[in-house]
Structures are given as C-alpha cells and as structure tokens.
Amino acid sequence: MSPSGVVFNIQRFSTHDGPGIRTTVFFKGCPLSCQWCANPESISGSPQLMVRDIKCTGCGACIEVCPEQAITLNTELKRHINWGQCTQCFNCVDACLYGALTVIGETWTPDSIVEEVEKDRIFYKNSGGGVTISGGEPLLQHNFLKETLEHLKKNNLHITLDTTGFTSQTVLNKILPFVDLVLFDIKHLDPEAHHAFTGVENETILENAGYISNHVNTWFRIPLIQGINDSQDHISLVTDLAKKLGVEKISLLPFHEGGTSKWRQLGLQRPDHTAISFRQ
C-alpha cells in the first residue's frame, strides 16, 4: 500500500521556487520553530483548525456540534474558541456554512499529487519549470516523499526540494537521487544565534549543506530578518560558504509580517526563544 502524507497547500504558477514556472507542494510538519515563521500552519504535521473571524456571522451552528463545549458567543455575537478544550474534531468546520472555520492540511497519496501537478505540465514545458516540494520540512515525511518523487520522476518532471537541511544523511540518501535541485534554507551561521531563534542547533544543517551540495545542484535561500541575520558580515560569511561548497545561487528573501495573524487564527502563540523584538 502506498504511504499517504499531509499537505497544506498546492500553489500553482510559482516563479520563486526554482527555475521556470512551477507548482509548489507544501508538506506539513517542521522540526524548527523560527520566531519569524510566516507559515505557522506548516509546523504541526497534523491537520489543524483555523478560524477566519471576518467571515463569522455569529449564527452559533458551531456551538451546537462541539462535543467539548469549547466554542462560545459573547453578547456581541463574537465567537470565542477555548483552544485548550478543542480536540480538533472538526465538527464545527462541517457545520459552518460561511467558511469561518476551516481545516488546514489534507491527506494526499503520491498518485493524487501527480494527478494534480500534471495539470500544469504545459507551463513546465514552456518555461523550463517543474514541481517544487516545500514545507514545513518535507523530509519529515520521507517515506511519503520518496514515493511521491518516484512517481514524479516516472513522469519526467523536474523536481526541486526546498529544505531546512535538519535531517539525517540516511534520509538524504533516500531522497536525493530523485531531486534535480535543492533550495537550502540558511537561517543563521552562528550556532548560538541559530538555536536562540529557531529552537534547534545548526551543526547538522551545515554538515548537510556540504553533503547535499556535493550530490545535487544547490541554491542557498536566506530569509533576511532585521537585526538577526541581515548584517553585511553575516551575508559575507554565507557567501564565502556558498563559494566553498560550489553553491550556484543565493536568494535573499525579505521578511514580512504575513504570518502574524495566522498564529492567532490557529490558537497558537509565536515562539519566543529569546527576548527579541522585530524592528521595522
């Protein structure tokens, strides 16, 4: 039986996730907890409830079907969810007629992903594009990823893997033979700073940067966070590392606050590994 996996988005006409026009498949689950994460819905590997208060009419249908009595309305008919009581049963999602309650993350099979991305083949052919697997960290679902990549390769599609590099070389050896290009995310080169702002060490990540670049064409991607990793000295160090490893390209990604509201919509708080405040 083919393994299945959890995907939280399939984005068409992506032009910044590798060469040409691409379809990017976002796998759910990430071992890092970066303070600046713009996609907090990618961190958990399981489907999650997300609220969209602007669409809520205060009809109360969700209250009636919640087995944990985790949903209430105030006197102004504003819905409130007690996230500590919520068991993510999603009964409320089925009851909501207005799209104010949604599930982030769906179960897919390798065949269903191939069927979906094949719809865009004409764009890949005309632009030199293909499929990018991103996350979260797609290598967390490495068995599902491997079979998906095998199916994609049988269809002669160009495959790009976007990864944090926080994995084992055993996993990399399973996956890299099916990958044409790796987008390798570099958060910070200083070990203490990396742990402070992402929650994990970077020794494994930097070792894997060398290992991957020795096996597959690699581009570095750096999310520039003001006051954290955007100094000229740090960027110079990343450039030196890229030259040393034979990395073909470095992309600098500007920080944005697009994920700020998502934390609240998921009933989460932004991780605060240090006392950082983002300067604007």
Every domain range in the chain assigned CATH 3.30.70.20: 48-104
Confidence of residue 260 (pLDDT cuts 50, 70, 90): confident
Residue 75, CA distances (Å) to 44, 58, 79, 249 in order: 33, 10, 10, 56
The domain defined by 5-45+105-260 folds into TIM Barrel (3.20.20)
Every domain range in the chain assigned CATH 3.20.20.70: 5-45+105-260
pLDDT at 279 over 50: no
Confidence of residue 276 (pLDDT cuts 50, 70, 90): very low
pLDDT at 77 over 90: no
Please tell me the distance from the alpha carbon of residue 251 to that of residue 224, in angstroms, as a whole number: 10
Confidence of residue 1 (pLDDT cuts 50, 70, 90): low
pLDDT at 113 over 80: yes
What average pLDDT does this structure show over 253-280?
A: 72
The mean pLDDT of the chain is 94
What confidence score (pLDDT) does residue 18 get?
97
The domain defined by 48-104 folds into Alpha-Beta Plaits (3.30.70)
Highest mean pLDDT (candidates 31-40, 165-174, 257-266)? 165-174
Please tell me the distance from the alpha carbon of residue 80 to that of residue 62, in angstroms, as a whole number: 11
User: Is the Cα dihedral 9, 11, 16, 19 positive or negative?
Assistant: positive
What average pLDDT does this structure show over 118-140?
A: 96
What average pLDDT does this structure show over 27-45?
A: 95
Confidence of residue 256 (pLDDT cuts 50, 70, 90): confident
Q: 26 is written with which tokens? A: 């976002």
Residue 196, CA distances (Å) to 88, 117, 193, 228, 276 in order: 30, 37, 5, 10, 10
What confidence score (pLDDT) does residue 167 get?
98
What confidence score (pLDDT) does residue 273 get?
57
What average pLDDT does this structure show over 13-33?
A: 97
Confidence of residue 259 (pLDDT cuts 50, 70, 90): confident
CB atoms inside a 10 Å sphere around CB 196: 16
81 close to 51: Cβ distance less than 8 angstroms: yes
Element (H, E) at 242: helix 232-245
Q: List helix spans (H) across 66-141.
A: 91-95, 110-117, 121-127
pLDDT at 274 over 90: no
